[in-house]
């Protein structure tokens, strides 16, 4: 069974802090994704990666960066947290079989005060 693990379930940070959200998957998946989920907006793609060292901007990359130094780990970085980044963050991974779904972690609820 695919397991995607996000390092924190809840985080509270102050405005201006640098925030790291970590995600690890154990199924040797090539593809990894970061989404944020807000009520009424569904899930919106922040960044994704199809290979180690590779990253691509999603629909809402402003204020975020990512790092993928190892295949199993994909980190989301908030360089200077702001209150409008308070949200649920979901990491996902998938294989390169086109019909395969995304497998999600349990999410990190980030509150920026």
Partner 1 sequence: AQKITQTQPGMFVQEKEAVTLDCTYDTSDPSYGLFWYKQPSSGEMIFLIYQGSYDQQNATEGRYSLNFQKARKSANLVISASQLGDSAMYFCAMREGLNDYKLSFGAGTTVTVRA
d(CA 9, CA 20): 13
- Pick from 1, 10, 42, 62 the residue near partner 1 by CB under 8 A: 42
Closest to 8 measured CA to CA, from 55, 78, 56, 71: 78
Please report, as residue ranges, which positions from 43 to 102 form the binding site for partner 1 (by CB under 8 A).
43-45, 48, 50, 58, 88, 90, 92, 94, 96, 98-99, 101-102
d(CA 99, CA 66): 26
Stretch of 14-22, 29-37, 66-74, 75-83 contacting partner 1, by CB under 8 A: 29-37
d(CA 82, CA 64): 11
Positions that interact with partner 1 (CB under 8 A): 31, 33, 35, 40-45, 48, 50, 58, 88, 90, 92, 94, 96, 98-99, 101-104, 106-107
């Amino acid at each position: 069974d695919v397991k995607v693990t996000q390092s924190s379930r809840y985080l509270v940070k102050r405005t201006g802090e640098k925030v790291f959200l970590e995600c690890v998957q154990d199924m040797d998946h090539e593809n990894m994704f970061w989404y944020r989920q807000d009520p009424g907006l569904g899930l919106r793609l922040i960044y994704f990666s199809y290979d180690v060292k590779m990253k691509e901007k999603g629909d809402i990359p402003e204020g975020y960066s990512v790092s993928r130094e190892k295949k199993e780990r994909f980190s989301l970085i908030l360089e200077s947290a702001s209150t409008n980044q308070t949200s649920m963050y979901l990491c996902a991974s998938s294989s390169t079989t086109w019909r395969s779904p995304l497998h999600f972690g349990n999410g990190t609820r980030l509150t920026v005060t």
